[in-house]
Structure 1
């Protein structure tokens, strides 16, 4: 789609003039200088924020297991998606898809759109997020705070086609996170999240983790981490946790690359109703399906024991982490496990931390909370039947 759009002639739609990118039409010196400066600005942001904090979750010393939380909520836009947005912008700039006259469009109602709006403002070009009309006011406000414009559709599955149509109409570029996430990030290193984790663990008791646990939305993070661990020849295994209704776990388990569920995830940022092009099953060692009630209970439990506010996807991660810690203990394995705080809980006061919302969703958190409390007190893992 991007190569086809690159051959279109100059057009003026939505008040934006976009030069042709036909191979015979070389970019002007002014455009090349602008791209160089835009890349400098984006890379300067990475220099300030890429090495996020790695927190230790205290566990009984006799367990012989350390659990670390890489806190992605401290990025300037408050989430793991800051890394993805940065990579997508560098990818588009280096490919010649983004110039000083490009309008950027994305299909996202969540943290990716927030981060992309930030980078669009940083380099001074327009950004439009295509999202369902039912998107929470909090997310809309965050996107608009960074200068983004929100364009609404009535049905979530219509976002992709509408984003592509709008980009064509405006002579712009569709960022398309679900296609480009796995290829936009330099998985060999360049201070990606996997390299950052390995470097930060260098002085710890178990510097090579037994497991890294992440969720999948686009699949870009799991692809980057899985590839990097193989490239560095590390024994670390990758576990991907998946919420209710997502297509990723059943597709991984069955090998069906076209698996669809048609169900939207209640755990924002992870889970998809269809297999996305950026999801790479071959780099994953284990997938763990996680009930939504367990995700919410674990996020709340994290706050209860550490005071840290985190979103539901962090709770999904932690439910998987505790299962793997229990497995390590039963097998007599000593070592470390790493997972992510994907974003802060302040974005979810109206949902995961709202008892009324939880009740309206029909979620019973009590048995999952009891499982977590019992495990951390006794080391025994006994999830609800």
Structure 2
């Protein structure tokens, strides 16, 4: 993280900035919780927390607000600060939105492979994109830009887990557990999420422990991501050096905000399985979601099959992390899928069998 000594921001600006961020939190905290259609006799219910309805269209809306608030209350951001980030797209969209709300300049370093739809949204909200070819270069390049312009590096991959108030205060875990209160299995047996920064899995894991719930947390991990093997080896230095095809989750290295001790399981999910699952979700529920939602849904299906086989009852919660319109030309484009050499049909057949028989 790069910070620079700066004169104290005016109290009037700080107070008004915090008011605007908190007002946004009040408006947007309780996103919808959808039930996925499963046979009632299984006695296991599946829910999807729809984070795509945030003003910036993704789960990262919460993170961006928390990161900027964290910088303000620590005295690292004032009314003249340029905000800088390293991102695969969605966090930068949300940070650009909040930067414009506060009258701040925003620059993000993104891999050149980031979807055109995400780039358009970053620029729509007033952000500027700086492209790199190597995904591992986003970190040092963001630090360099922040140092050169005297700005503040938001550093989501380090600060996500500490910028989020895991005890409550409208975080995603508190929202989910409150919305589950009247369901037939109100305390989830499992929460299944992807990991980009690792901040969401850390928030759920900490909140469940803090509230003394028995909820377990699983991370669904796409191909080429470092999280599964790093978690297995207990090696925080582990790196694959490769970029995930599923945008928003999966990283080429173990990120500092990923807290392995809070995770009960990490489940490998093939990219073709992620895309098949998110297409099935749209067909069965009309919810159009991004690829990372498919990754978590695919892993959740396996967990539910195991629960049914063991005769367990309960609920499983996962997320609609962002909307599918951002991926119309990739995950929902048959020509693009074919270009990647993927065959979705075996995974679609596996999902169809699961929905009929509860076997995975």
TM range (shorter): over 0.9
Counterpart CA distance in 2 for 1:136 and 1:215 is 19
- Pairs within 5 Å for 1:146-157: 146-157=125-136
CA contact (8 A) 1:117 1:143 kept: yes
Q: Which runs of 5+ in 2 are unaligned?
A: none
Return the alpha-carbon distance in structure 1 between the equivalents of residues 230 and 150 of structure 2: 36
Alpha-carbon distance, 1:226 to partner: 0.3
| Structure 2 partner of 1:76 | 55
Of residues 101, 126, 129, the one that matches 1:122 is: 101
SS in structure 1 opposite 2:100? Answer: helix
For the residues of structure 2 that align with 1:151 and 1:144, how far apart are their CA atoms?
11
SS at match of 2:165: coil
**Mind listing any 5+ residue stretches in structure 1 that lack a counterpart?**
8-19, 22-26
Structure 1 equivalent of residue 139 of structure 2: 160
Q: Which has the higher contact order (CA 8 A, sep 6+)?
A: 2
2:228 counterpart of 1:249: yes
Superposition map of 1:150-189 within 5 A: 150-189=129-168
**Deviation per residue, 1:334-360 (Å, 9 max, x gap):** 111100000011000110001111111
- What pairs up with 1:131-146 in 2 under 5 angstroms? 131-146=110-125
* Residues 109, 129 of structure 1: 8 Å contact kept: no
Residues 6-25 of structure 1, C-alpha deviation per residue, up to 9 Å, x if partnerless? 34xxxxxxxxxxxx25xxxx
Offset of 1:152 from its aligned partner?
2.0
Q: Is structure 2 residue 196 aligned with structure 1 residue 198?
A: no
1:110 corresponds in structure 2 to 89
Shift of residue 268, structure 1, vs aligned partner? 0.4
SS at structure 1 position matched to 2:242: coil
- Residue number among 219, 224, 227 corresponding to 2:203 in the alignment: 224
Q: How far off its partner does 1:132 sit?
A: 2.6
Residues 308-363 of structure 1: CA deviation (Å, up to 9, x unaligned): 11111000011111111111101111111100000011000110001111111111
TM-score, normalised by the number of residues in structure 2: 0.98
Contact 1:211 1:238 in 2 (8 A): yes
Change (3 A) 1:208 1:124: same
Q: 2:214 aligns with which of 235, 249, 252?
A: 235
How big is each residue's C-alpha offset from its partner over 1:156-197, in whole Å with a ceiling of 9 and x where there is no partner?
222111111111111110000000000000011111111111
Query: Partners in 2 of 1:308 and 1:80 — Cα distance?
Result: 15
1:6 pairs with 2:4 = yes
Contact 1:214 1:340 in 2 (8 A): yes
Q: Name the counterpart of 2:321.
A: 342
Q: How many residues of Structure 1 are paired with residues of Structure 2 in the alignment? A: 360
Partners of 1:136 and 1:319 in 2: how far apart? Answer: 23
- The answer for the alignment partner of 1:215 in structure 2 is 194
Within 5 Å, give how 1:183-332 maps onto structure 2: 183-332=162-311
Q: Counterpart of 1:239 in 2: which secondary structure?
A: strand
Q: Say whether residues 1:62 and 2:62 are aligned partners.
A: no
Contact 2:135/2:252, CA 8 A, preserved across alignment: no
CA contact (8 A) 2:222 2:244 kept: yes
- Runs of 4+ with deviation above 4 angstroms: none
TM-score, normalising length from structure 1?
0.92
